[in-house]
Structure 1
Amino acid sequence: MRVFNPYLLHQIFRGALVAALLYFGWWAARYVTPLVYPFILGWLLAYLLNPVINLLQRRAKFPRWLSVTTVILILIALTVTAVTLLVTKVIVELGALAVNLQNNINTWGDKAANFWNSSWFQGVIGQLNNFMKSNNLDLSTNLSSVTGTVADFSSNAVKAIVNSLISIVQSLPNIATVAIIVLLATFFISKDWYLIVMRYTAIIPETARKAVRLISGDLHKALFGFLKAQLILVSLTALAVIIGLLILRVDYAITIGLLIGLCDLMPYLGTGAVMVPWIIYAFFSGNVYLGIGLSVLYGLIVIVRQIMEPKVLASSVGLDPLAALIALFVGLKLFGFIGLILGPVLMVVMTAIYRAHVFHDIVTYIKKGSEANAEVR
């Protein structure tokens, strides 16, 4: 009498092998990626620059190494120029904006002091103090507690900002080192691109290469399509804000519009992180025209963003609008802010893997072994 079915035993073994390989892949992605990410970035950059390098090599008759060097130097020059012009413009307007903000803060402080010293407010405080004394409560103690809490919060906020700035400054050498490594990796990978491709082709079987080509094509569309979609959405938001602020005749409209456009990348808050406090201040300061204008502008931005985001993602990433919306929500819930990027990309990865019949091949291998996959192919 047989205790074990050999066929079932082989299935269990193959299933355990697949599970072990998946676990090893997850472990490698989690612990090895932080060690090699500059070279991954270098490969992605080389992949993007390869068509331009080929064009220069073909038209200008440059040797490969010279084409790679020229394209990388042009990329560095364009990036440095664009960043310098943008940072210069923003710094100039931020300086003027900071002066204006300091003047507003002083105005707010004077208004708060006048309100505090007003007879009406002092009368309210007196009545409240009498009421609290009748209930054996000390108003001054409670006000001191509130004041201490506000002071502690302000102090902690300032410390957090200072620590963030210090961390950014301290990380600059590391960022510069990583940037140099990425550029060097891009150069060497681009220079030997076709040699690397030939070696890869010789090692990996044709069936696996077909699956990898299909998956990489979909990933290319997903990754760069998502970046394109976010760039489109942020640009639309920034452009709408700039136009709205120009119509409202707000100073420093370009800088404020760019900053609010970047805030649109923030989860939950988005443009509201800037617009809502600004609207409240406009109404409290008596500038009803500006408050109404900002309210209308903010409402339009929120509505357009909610309508456009699934459609732009669907057209750029290749997902159904409902699937894109689900991917955004699930990614946000599981991974937080980074989930807004990982969610759609992971969904496209799963779709690409499914289209490449990887799941089907795994199930077939577990059930029948590698010979069955060979017969199917």
Structure 2
Amino acid sequence: MVINNKKIKLLLILILSIVGVYIGFEYILPLFIPFILAYLIAAAILPVVRFLYRRIRMPKIFGGIISLGILGTGFGWILCYLVDLLLKQLTVLLRNLPIYLSVLGSFMDRFSEGCDKFFGIQLGTVQSFIYSNFDGLLVIVKNKIIPVITTRSINLLIGIVGFAGIILIVLVSVLLLVKDEDQYSESFKNSFFYQEIHIVTGKLSEMGIAYLKTQAIMLGLIGAVCTVGLLLIHNKYALLIGIAIGIFDAFPILGSGLILVPWGIIEIINKDLYSGAILLTVYLCCQLIRQFLEPKLLGSRIGIKPVYTLMSMYAGVNLFGFAGFILGPIGLVIVTTIVKECKERLVITKEM
């Protein structure tokens, strides 16, 4: 009877933990994201702030301003460099757009002719059908797509203004946390639920470090596989493109397939079967690495079986979208930590 009561209690704790994590991630977390981000930034710059305070007795708020300035300058330089690179690439694309349109037109003509021959119909039938429907496509773009783009642009502008306000809140919060970090730390340690919260946050910290290490390993492996594949097809920019695909593959909604698969298909259409086969094989290797190695690495580092980590990623993406790729494993760690701690306490209580 005691055992059954224990099982019922653990089951209730498990259900309440899952429901609590879902409600927290869905409704509460969005309200505190700026302050969580501020806490992470403050934790990152605190060593510098403390060093300046110990060495030259610089007030912590000034040390925080200097640290934020250095961090913001570095981030801004990287962002400006990437934007400049993107604009240069876009300029080259627009300059060569007539050439690309000409190549696309020739490809469509060959494609139409191939369809005519394949279906045994009169030459020019598919081409006439495509061109006759092109005007209708332009009308759809003008009447439906362009107004939507205009509306989205206005919403984007409003979002940018709101984002600037959030950034301001984050910066002010960082300075306040740095300025009174001793008081906040002491207040947190004296709180009633400090031990329970500390156990969960400690586990999450371990998981965060493990996640970053795992992604670094995945980036290196996938970048290396892509680079080798591009070297096999004698690409002049194998290393650069390989690293770029490795970074792109880290995004679960995007992935390397958006680059490698169309590229491979285009090479096959252009009758370069060797290059097409290499690119598609590289994509397959990337998928195998991502699907099988990542859960194993992440699961072994956080003490959770790989299949459970994969299940949590899948459930997280379905529940929370793109952010669920990270929130899923985090939720799994929170639930397992709570259940494990409660289980140990129930055992101790029983023994007493």
2:171 corresponds to 1:186: no
Amino acid at match of 1:66: F
Q: In structure 2, what is the equivalent of residue 274 of structure 1?
A: 259
Amino acid at match of 2:182: Y
Distance change >3 Å, CA 255–CA 301, structure 1 → 2: same
Task: Confirm or deny: 8 A CA contact 1:115 1:121 kept in the other structure.
Answer: no
Gaps of 5+ in 1: 1-15, 130-138, 365-371
In terms of mean alpha carbon deviation, does 234-243 or 272-281 score higher? 234-243
Q: Alignment partner for residue 75 of structure 1, among 65, 71, 77?
A: 71
Q: Alignment partner for residue 175 of structure 1, among 163, 170, 177?
A: 163
Distance change >3 Å, CA 221–CA 181, structure 1 → 2: same
2:289 corresponds to 1:304: yes
2:58 corresponds to 1:62: yes
Q: In structure 1, what is the equivalent of residue 3 of structure 2?
A: none
Task: Confirm or deny: 8 A CA contact 1:314 1:321 kept in the other structure.
Answer: yes
Q: CA deviation at 1:247?
A: 5.0
Q: Percent identity?
A: 26
2:38 corresponds to 1:42: yes
Task: Confirm or deny: 8 A CA contact 1:43 1:186 kept in the other structure.
Answer: yes
In terms of mean alpha carbon deviation, does 116-125 or 331-340 score higher? 116-125
Aligned ranges for residues 87-126 of structure 1 at < 5 Å? 87-96=83-92, 103-113=99-109, 116=112, 121=117, 124-126=120-122
Amino acid at match of 1:42: A
Q: In structure 2, what is the equivalent of residue 10 of structure 1?
A: none
Distance change >3 Å, CA 94–CA 37, structure 1 → 2: same
Amino acid at match of 1:177: G
2:233 corresponds to 1:248: yes
Q: In structure 1, what is the equivalent of residue 49 of structure 2?
A: 53
2:312 corresponds to 1:327: yes
In the alignment of these two chains, the number of paired residues is 339
Task: Confirm or deny: 8 A CA contact 1:68 1:190 kept in the other structure.
Answer: yes
Whole-angstrom distance in 2 between the partners of 1:75 and 1:109 = 48
Task: Confirm or deny: 8 A CA contact 1:222 1:316 kept in the other structure.
Answer: yes
Q: In structure 2, what is the equivalent of residue 260 of structure 1?
A: 245
Task: Confirm or deny: 8 A CA contact 2:253 2:322 kept in the other structure.
Answer: no
Offset from partner CA, 1:178-205 (integer Å, 9 cap, x none): 1121011011111101111222333x23
Distance change >3 Å, CA 212–CA 57, structure 1 → 2: same
Task: Confirm or deny: 8 A CA contact 2:26 2:320 kept in the other structure.
Answer: no
2:147 corresponds to 1:151: no
Offset from partner CA, 1:229-282 (integer Å, 9 cap, x none): 335424543454345435534366566545533542454762112211111111
Amino acid at match of 2:312: A
Bigger radius of gyration: 1
Q: CA deviation at 1:332?
A: 3.5
Q: CA deviation at 1:177?
A: 1.7
